[in-house]
Amino acid sequence: MKKSALDPVWIALLLLGAGACAAPQTTSKPFQPAAGPVPVPAQDARLSIRHYEYMRQDGGGFLQYQLAKGSPQIRLLAAQALGSLPFPQWSARVSTALCAALRDEDPLVRSAAAFGLGLRADPQTLAALCAAEPVEKHAQVRARRVEAASRFDDDAAREFVFTALQDREAAVVCEAVLGIARWEKDAKQWTAAESRLIGIALDSHSPEDCRWRALFALARQRSGAAERAYSAAAALPDARARIHAAQGLGFVRDSAQATAVLAGLLKDSDWRVVCEAALALGRHSDEAALDALLGLPRHASAHVRRVRLEALGNFAAQAERVQPALEAARSDDSVNVRAAAIESGAKLLKAGALDNLEGLASSDEARIRLAVATGLAHLPATARVELALTLAQDSDLRVRAAAHEALLGVDDPRATAAIEQCWRSGDNGVRLALSTRLEESASAKDLPGMRACFANASGDIAPELKRSLLKACARIGGEEASSLIQSALADPDRSVRQLAQSLGGANASRLVSEASAERDFSALEELPEDPEVEIVTSRGTLRFRLLSRETPLHVHNFLALARRGEYENTLFHRVVPDFVIQGGDYRGDGNGGRTFDAGPLPAEFRPRKFLRGALGMPRNEEVDSGGSQIFVTHRETPHLDGRYTLFGELVGGFEVLDAIEVGDRILSVRERK
């Protein structure tokens, strides 16, 4: 990889741009100009910019120089790269360069700079982002500024977003609406914003894109005052509006009118709307809601049938009325519907469900055994221990994980021994399920096993497992837990060290720091422009256009893995109706994550929105933790925007997307010529 030196001109540019932001405190390495000319060829500049973006470095000022002096295309790439450098690890010189780029002559560069400032959320940059002068005439840039400001937890930022609701361009208003959905509900601007959003939702002259987003924001904030807006939206032709109307009505309790509207939505022509209406009625859990759910005829969509049973699991006081519906579902042709009946039955009947669970624990279908293991959590500890011990030895990793979770907290020597054995020699994914639970409930008695687990964890799940163990240690507190956290400061994985540092307080000076290993990204230059691929599944074929110009690393990673056959016969292990399907994990339990070169996969967050059929990259709480898994959205999902990498769009096979359930498989991935 050709690295580029810096000429002294950059020093003056850096100083000139400093006025764009209030002076932030520098926490990154001091600027050190290098001797020699800056390379001119655009090809070299593109390669270097991509390299530094993915290595999360600024090249000693190279990115800032290119943002100030490059061609419009190079400046755009440099702005994207600088926006990916995290705050506070990178502060003053990155923030200053991005603030200066808000005045760039090219609106695409200004837009990218604003988006990057939002990703970084450096408090020192907020004044520049929300500045009234110079007046921004380009609507898309104003929209990106509003989106960026909404990611700051600050009254001035919220005021800026709220004011943007009055913008003359619908694109800007839409971003302001979505920005309000990100607020904490106790924000002092919320009452006024709620009233304005209700007005947008009720106004028949509001653009469709603004109306459904207003309903999304109101439902996201669980606004009870918006009942009239939700009820009116239930009759709109836009399915997106009806989806969020149903979601919102789920939080309007003790309202016969809300229940009646939801009951009407159970007849909707769009299965996604019906799913949301069923889930909302489950939150109401009164007699009228139960009547509506029990009266829902057998729906053509297995997703609806599954969600209906999940909703019925909330009617504990009316368990006898629900039981016939659960019994009828046992003959459903969808294993996921049968599994939902098992889990809801355990939730409603508790110890009374034990005989049924024991009879199903030896099923040939892993999805049924998983439902049994998951259902055990609803039984009293003494009733579940025998069956949990049996399922803890299951051949399916998902079943083993759920069974081990059911053993946590059980006062039985056999359960204690099983958990201890898992800590010392169990599968990493199973142990991750345990440690995740302990993040909220760990005590000192868990420490010996956790310490043993931390010491022997290895493989592609190990960093996430170790971070989870550290969080559990922080909850426990005390000298022994602190000792484990301190030892993690020398862990080989950077993300583990960083978390240990954040948890270690004043004693974090032992943090090991070394340069990142070099990686070769030159193959990205050979990617075809937005290629098409077919993901052949057991339900049919999904055809995608990959966004190689926006997210080249993720496209390269996906294609490289596909050419190796990594996706062949892998499960769709997670399906959330009216949200996503997720698969591509070689382990089959959602914990696997290989990459094209075994290194971390840096996120490529871009302004493109997650619409229906968006192809995205799952990750854990670490931003740069993608791998081989993929997800595809059933609908618009604004809460994923700018938080997950979107690297493809579905262009054919929407009926296949709607049909895929847990247990279906990816058979192959083919590149279209």
Model pLDDT, residue 593: 86
Confidence band of 505 (pLDDT split at 50, 70, 90):
low
Q: Of the candidates 551, 583, 555, which has an alpha carbon nearest to the alpha carbon of residue 569?
A: 583
**Structural domain boundaries in the chain:** 9-135, 522-671
8 A C-beta contact, residue 535 and residue 515: no
Is the pLDDT higher at 18 or at 654? 654
Phi, psi of 186 (to 5 degrees): -85, 10
* Residue 60 DSSP code: G
Q: Are strands 532-537 and 540-546 parallel, antiparallel or unpaired?
A: antiparallel
Q: How far apart are CA 387 and CA 409, in angstroms?
A: 15
Confidence band of 584 (pLDDT split at 50, 70, 90):
very high
Q: Is the pLDDT of residue 377 over 90?
A: yes
Q: Is the pLDDT of residue 603 over 70?
A: yes
Q: Is the pLDDT of residue 28 over 50?
A: no
Q: Is the pLDDT of residue 472 over 70?
A: yes
pTM of the model: 0.93
Model pLDDT, residue 596: 95
Q: Average pLDDT of 418-437? A: 97
Q: Average pLDDT of 63-69? A: 97
Per-residue pLDDT tens for 341-374?
999 999 999 999 999 999 999 999 999 999 999 9
8 A C-beta contact, residue 463 and residue 493: yes
Residues contacting 642, CB < 8 A, separation 6+: 115, 118, 119, 147, 151, 605, 607
Phi, psi of 122 (to 5 degrees): -75, 120
Q: How far apart are CA 137 and CA 214, in angstroms?
A: 24
Architecture in CATH of 522-671: Beta Barrel (2.40)
Alpha helices in 447-566 (DSSP H): 447-456, 462-476, 479-487, 494-504, 552-564
% the chain with pLDDT above 70 = 92
Q: Is the pLDDT of residue 479 over 80?
A: yes
Q: How far apart are CA 467 and CA 462, in angstroms?
A: 9
Poorest-pLDDT segment among 148-162, 182-196, 390-404: 182-196
> Which two structure tokens, joined as six digits, stand for 70?
């490059």
Model pLDDT, residue 14: 43
% the chain with pLDDT above 90 = 87
Cα 640 to the chain's mean position, in Å?
A: 6
Nearest 5 degrees, angle CA 518-CA 521-CA 526?
Answer: 160
Nearest 5 degrees, angle CA 491-CA 496-CA 499?
Answer: 130
The string of DSSP letters for 253-284 reads: -S-HHHHHHHHHHTT-SSHHHHHHHHHHHHHH
Model pLDDT, residue 205: 96
Per-residue pLDDT tens for 192-223?
999 999 999 999 999 999 999 999 999 999 99
Average pLDDT, the chain: 92
> Which two structure tokens, joined as six digits, stand for 593?
């994550």
Model pLDDT, residue 43: 66
Confidence band of 663 (pLDDT split at 50, 70, 90):
very high
